[in-house]
Structure 1
Amino acid sequence: MTANIASKTRYRIGGMDCASCGAKVQNAVARLDGVTAVDVSVSNGTMSVSHDGPAPSAAITRSVKWLGYSIAPADTPGDASDGDPKGAADSHFELGEGAWWSSRKAVLTWACGAALAAAYLAGQVMPAIGHWAFIAAMAVGLVPIAWRAIAAALTGTPFSIETLMSIAAIGAIFIGATEEAAIVVLLFLVGELLEGVAASRARASIQGLTALVPKTALVEVNGVTTEVQAATLVVGATILVRPGDRIPADGEIIDGQSSIDEAPVTGESVPRRKGPGEPVFAGTINTDAVLRIRVTAAASDNTIARIVKLVERAQESKAPTERFIDRFSRVYTPGVLVVGALVAILPPLFLGAAWSEWIYKGLAILLIGCPCALVISTPAAIAAGLSAGARRGLLLKGGAVLEALRDIDMVALDKTGTLTEGKPVVTDIVAYGRSEQKLLSLAAALETGSSHPLALAILARAKADKAPVPPAANAKAVPGKGVSGAVGGEAVYLASARAAAEKAVLTDAQKSCIDAFNDDGKTVSVLLVDDAVVGLLAIRDEPRTDAIVGLEALRAAGIGLVMLTGDNRRTAAAIGKSLDIDVQAELLPEDKQRIVRELQAEGRKVAKIGDGINDAPALAAADIGIAMGGGTDVALETADAAILHGRVADIANMISLSHQVMANIRQNITIALGLKGVFLVTTILGYTGLWPAILADTGATVIVTLNALRLLGIRFDKGAAATR
């Protein structure tokens, strides 16, 4: 007998604008046969359904549409209308693709407002029908609300905000408060409309990244350039990008040099000069020269597309605080019904108070107690935080990661590719009897065509210094020693210091110079011409330009630091000394993992930063694993988060982002509960009634959402602190 293997299918849901919407959809779909788990992200307008066997798509679609929302597979282009005009309107409203004032919710709100105005005029002209006119006006808005309440109750959510709203409005009719009931319904619809606008803005923040990629591209085939849709570009295609144009795909420059403005994607304020062989990203701007680029990723897999997908999936996972609020609200809402009933019944029953007065207060408490603001307080902030981070190259795989980062008190960093650039560069040139440029020319001539990292460093320096590279004859590698050949009729040999000493006598001064370079963690190549030493080339993988500032920002935040590297002790110690960081070197992957475990055993909350396969075990063992820069697929898959642009300062920025998001959540919860507490007291004392009660709910929801949206404006300074 073969066990069923759980699968997961994602959908886009149109029309959700608050946490209660997500809860209704989740409860309805979770009840279906074959469904094992459901995760709904209101922020994304998405739903992930885990199921045994084939997805029960027809049943899922019926359940979601029954609740009044639209649904489509997540990979369907465009909106989630699924052919449903009503859903299309909602989806356009949700995604910010259409005018909010023409959405279905807006039309219902305008209709209810117009009916209320007509009822008021009718009451002035014919007072006898005023009561019935306000009931009719209220019905315009209440009937759709009550229908949604019934649908939610039948699909597993009996205690929805629509249920509380319907009970309060209908109860108000029976005690003669028809004008207030109609006003309350209108205010509820206005509140929903404002919530939708805020939710649309939050959702558009991350989806707006896709708008950075141009719709068309210039493809070059056999010297002929044709304009095509950027979405149709295939890997390996050659595209032409003119000055001032956005780059339509991830790729590698084949021909041309230009400054690339990467600010839209990376946040870098200064354009980067790039030339042949260097990568470029979709959505960045070519500023000053024509470039020919080879496409390296399809449209669905370019940098921006990957960011959007990662953030969408991250927003579907809930943070611990969010899960607690969800559990609390399941008890809280029925509790509100009980409290409202007790307030309405007990004083008249036992104290002889007026029934109409206390029923009115009980109905107001139902409206005050609606949990929307409380429930949205956490996911709104988490979604805004994830989006703000993603737009700045800080990718976090879910709210739990974002929340846990605030507790980090120890950061363990890899060296190569994390604290350093990950590619050697020529740092020093010492010439004896010849110019530095001539030295570079001879060395580059021997290394032409080699893919060895040291060879690439020499060739890059020769190119940067505009040193001519003459042809070399009979160039060949000398295994374990270096490379030799003939350049301009001279026998040239580029070798390690030990191999060079076998061919020539090194002076004491030359030996001292080599030793000093070695003490600084640099690899030294000795250049011989006709068996005579003519120069030294010192090469090292240098620290990133922001490494010192980034590490200092972490120290300022009270976070401990340690470098864990597999490199040799001398090189590691030299880099560690220049960065003022403790070093543990010559480590195997299991050693790095062991050290992380030891730090955790000491009570430390450890973040491990790395970019290679050998970092994967330690990344998985750490409390938070962060992949640095491009990283390897294994590192990115194993890590909890990723710093796309390789800035050491972004480690502190990511931790700072966590602190700001959690502070925002505390503010939101205080606003949500504080407003409810104030209106609860004033209602019982008789100072406020039904319409201020609904303002306490919808107003708090809008305030909480707008407060969360402030996180989208976070800016990171040169060091690490996030500011607004």
Structure 2
Amino acid sequence: MTEYRVKGLSCGNCARVLEHEIRQLEHGESATLSYNSGKLILDERVPLDKVKSILKSDRAYIEQPVQDSHEGHDHNSGAYDHEHSQGNKKIIGTLVASTVIYLAAIFMDGHSATSTVILLYLTATALSGYSTFLKGLKNLVRLRFNIDTLMTIALVGAVSIGQWKEATLVAILFGINELLEGLGMEKARRSMETLLKVAPKEATKLENGTETVVPIGTLIAGDLVLVKPGEKIPSDGTVISGKSSVNEAAITGESLPVEKAEGELVFGGSINNEGVLQIRIEKAYQDSSLAKILHLVEEAQETKTPTELFINRFAKYYTPLIMIIAGLVIVIPPLLFGGDWSDWLYQGLAVLIVGCPCALILSSPIAIVAGITRNARNGILVKGGVFLEQLGKLDTLAFDKTGTLTKGAPYVEKSVIYDESMFLAVAGAIEKSSTHPLAKAIMKHIATSGTSLKDADEIEAISGRGIIATYEGNKYWLGNEKSMEHLTIPRSVQDTIDQLKESGLTLVLVADEEKVLGMFGISDEIREESKSVIATLHKNGIRHTVMLTGDHQKTAEKVANAVGVTEYFGNLLPEEKVEKVKELATKGVVGMIGDGINDAPALASAQIGIAMGKGTDSAIETADVVLMQDHLGKLPDAIKVARRVNRIIRFNIGVSMGLKLIALLLTIPGWLTLWVAILSDMGATIFVTLVSLTILIQKRSESSPTA
């Protein structure tokens, strides 16, 4: 399949009709033409000359093939910008010339020969409306009824009854309308393309001590690259030498730099701030996190929401219906009520113009593209308009506990010491060589005490219990309660054990042959932002927050109370999490938030799956929405943007249909004029475009990182 950039698409409905015609060509059944992104995807076997001929019928044309993503997303963008700018200047020049001629005709009316004035009106009409007229005639021959067909019939009708002034005004205003409509959609597209330009294009490769500048598409895993201050890291990799701070905003949306040193992972597209880094490439660019993100963002533009699909289906029947209504307006009053044919022909032509579906069709796509772009800037990857719409409808959020509401790393929350001289020394000696997560938490705690550690001998792990080891000639036990069976535990110690367990802590006890030396109460540390995020979600209309975890019920209760979720369930197996999500889905629109790996079944069963991952492959591939940070801080913003998009789409539909209804009602007393008709359509189109573009406006405070 080959992608082409298509320029000159006049509206979403026109793009849909063109796509249908291209699909009728040999090998064209899989062709897709997106008005949102201005891209055409074709099978290589489709005859390109025939495709160009179909596009030409709608004044659209193929400008250039789209470059492969691994070669950078902005190749030829300078030429594109220049040509697009030149094309707009030409259209504006034509419209200005038409307006000047139109004003001259008005000024000369009554002072010059009628034929001269009519000639000026015709000239202005031809300049601003000739392309619409030609397209409309072709569509009329094919019985294809769209906006150009309606406008052509209206122009011909207006001229035929001698309404030169209004026919010219309609042509000029329609030209301005199309220009502004195109500029609005182009603004949304260019905003998206600016986002895609974060991809680096070249890298400094190190080979046998020699530096060579190469395209990033030639890099493979294992290559060494040198990244100097201010340069972009070419692909995902590991720092081999050097130390610097790195701006990862392209991946996470966070503007604060992250310190990187030897052995640490870096993301392609990140910007090296001050030091020189030598990096070993772990993935070719096309397999990197950034490339996957950009590819998914591009794909997101192509998906259509249920609202868009409904509007497209509605528009298919709407235009013929308007033509029928216009015909009835023209015929019924003169035939049944003795109306003047000329007056009602004029009213019918105005109805045709009111019936143009531009504003209705534009109600959704610009808002969707703007919403996806806005979230992507903040490191929130929404994989399509349908998921953006669902995100805005959420009323229930289900959270995994470990790694989502908590950090997923155990820490010692409380320690109880009965033997000051031996407890930490013995625990440290036994655990210092272990890689178990609980051992790491204990060692981190001991490190803060400054205890001097020695080595233990004869270390023996007892499955499901703990460790037995020898330290300075004596035998010691470290583990859970079961590992203490050789002791008779005093009631006071047992009460402490029971209290710590009751509070949801995991216990690690240390004992010698006669007594318990002390114990560690370990828990999974709650993320600092979890409580405030849950509170913000409740404030913003999420009525139900639920925590689902496989941990013990007491642990679940402790975390749930700390973060403020409305409900929690513990001791859940993966399949039980799925059942809970399905049960919640019967009561509302449910989103499931997890890490994208072990929560995959639950993510898939929710109406919308949300993964946290900071660029991990599994998170990007699993969920419908990905929070590219390693925290929940930007989740409320993502939902807020999605809800705003949904509100604006509903508002746009209401405005576009409302203005048309008001204009149509003016036909009853016979007050509808051609210029009022075009202004109602033009006003609605410009209004919905501008309102949709407000989604891209982001306050500085909203772009700041949230811990």
Same fold (TM over 0.5): yes
220-229 vs 361-370, greater mean Cα deviation: 220-229
The question of 1:41 aligning with 2:34 is answered yes
Report the CA distance shift for 1:690/1:109 in structure 2 as closer, same or farther (over 3 A): farther
532-541 vs 665-674, greater mean Cα deviation: 532-541
User: Aligned equivalents of 1:121 and 1:637: distance in 2?
Assistant: 62
Report the CA distance shift for 1:48/1:369 in structure 2 as closer, same or farther (over 3 A): same
Please give the secondary structure, in 2, of the residue aligned with 1:674. Answer: helix
The question of 1:31 aligning with 2:24 is answered yes
110-119 vs 561-570, greater mean Cα deviation: 110-119
The question of 1:709 aligning with 2:697 is answered no
Give the deviation of 1:173 after TM superposition. Answer: 1.9
2:433 — aligned with what? 446
1:416 to 371, 386, 402: 402
The question of 1:135 aligning with 2:126 is answered no
Give the deviation of 1:113 after TM superposition. Answer: 3.3
User: Aligned equivalents of 2:424 and 2:261: distance in 1?
Assistant: 22
Report the CA distance shift for 1:500/1:110 in structure 2 as closer, same or farther (over 3 A): same
Identical columns (%)? 35
Greater relative contact order structure (CA < 8 Å, 6+ sep): 2
1:13 — aligned with what? 6
2:675 — aligned with what? 691
The question of 1:388 aligning with 2:341 is answered no
Q: Is there any run of 5+ residues in structure 2 with no aligned partner, and where?
A: none
Does the 8 A contact of 1:611 with 1:630 survive in 2?
A: no
Give the deviation of 1:519 after TM superposition. Answer: 4.5
Does the 8 A contact of 1:613 with 1:632 survive in 2?
A: no
User: Aligned equivalents of 1:592 and 1:712: distance in 2?
Assistant: 37
1:674 — aligned with what? 658
User: Aligned equivalents of 2:525 and 2:261: distance in 1?
Assistant: 21
Q: Is there any run of 5+ residues in structure 1 with no aligned partner, and where?
A: 1-7, 80-87
Q: Deviation digits for residues 318-356 of structure 1, max 9, x if unmatched?
A: 222222222221221112222223333333444444443
Does the 8 A contact of 2:592 with 2:602 survive in 1?
A: yes
Q: Deviation digits for residues 504-552 of structure 1, max 9, x if unmatched?
A: 9998887766665555544455679999988766544322221111222
Give the deviation of 1:697 after TM superposition. Answer: 1.8
Report the CA distance shift for 1:604/1:675 in structure 2 as closer, same or farther (over 3 A): closer
What pairs with 1:90-489 in structure 2 (closer than 5 Å)?
A: 97-98=81-82, 101-103=85-87, 105-115=88-98, 117-118=100-101, 124=108, 127=113, 128-152=115-139, 158-263=144-249, 265-268=251-254, 270-427=256-413, 433=420, 445-447=432-434, 450=435, 452-454=436-438, 457=441, 478=461, 480=463
Q: Letter of the aligned partner of 1:643 in structure 2?
A: L
Report the CA distance shift for 1:251/1:26 in structure 2 as closer, same or farther (over 3 A): same
User: Aligned equivalents of 2:442 and 2:45: distance in 1?
Assistant: 57
User: Aligned equivalents of 2:55 and 2:610: distance in 1?
Assistant: 37
513-522 vs 654-663, greater mean Cα deviation: 513-522
369-378 vs 574-583, greater mean Cα deviation: 574-583
Does the 8 A contact of 1:495 with 1:525 survive in 2?
A: yes
Q: Deviation digits for residues 67-86 of structure 1, max 9, x if unmatched?
A: 4323466555799xxxxxxx
Report the CA distance shift for 1:437/1:173 in structure 2 as closer, same or farther (over 3 A): farther
Report the CA distance shift for 1:467/1:161 in structure 2 as closer, same or farther (over 3 A): farther
Q: Letter of the aligned partner of 1:695 in structure 2?
A: L
Give the deviation of 1:244 after TM superposition. Answer: 4.6
C-alpha root-mean-square deviation of aligned residues, in Å?
Answer: 4.4
The question of 1:63 aligning with 2:49 is answered no
Does the 8 A contact of 1:438 with 1:467 survive in 2?
A: no
Does the 8 A contact of 2:244 with 2:260 survive in 1?
A: yes
559-568 vs 285-294, greater mean Cα deviation: 285-294
Give the deviation of 1:707 after TM superposition. Answer: 0.5
1:583 — aligned with what? 568
User: Aligned equivalents of 1:473 and 1:435: distance in 2?
Assistant: 13
Please give the secondary structure, in 1, of the residue aligned with 2:525. Answer: coil
Give the deviation of 1:698 after TM superposition. Answer: 2.6
Please give the secondary structure, in 1, of the residue aligned with 2:36. Answer: coil
Please give the secondary structure, in 2, of the residue aligned with 1:562. Answer: strand
Give the deviation of 1:199 after TM superposition. Answer: 0.9
Q: Letter of the aligned partner of 1:338 in structure 2?
A: I
1:593 — aligned with what? 578
User: Aligned equivalents of 1:437 and 1:290: distance in 2?
Assistant: 42
User: Aligned equivalents of 2:217 and 2:14: distance in 1?
Assistant: 33
What pairs with 1:624-639 in structure 2 (closer than 5 Å)?
A: 624-630=608-614, 636-639=620-623
Q: Deviation digits for residues 451-479 of structure 1, max 9, x if unmatched?
A: x444555677789x698999979897746
Does the 8 A contact of 1:550 with 1:648 survive in 2?
A: yes
1:606 — aligned with what? 590
Q: Deviation digits for residues 556-599 of structure 1, max 9, x if unmatched?
A: 32522222222344443433343344332232222112222333
Give the deviation of 1:715 after TM superposition. Answer: 5.9
Number of equivalent positions: 692
Q: Letter of the aligned partner of 2:351 in structure 1?
A: I
Report the CA distance shift for 1:684/1:554 in structure 2 as closer, same or farther (over 3 A): same
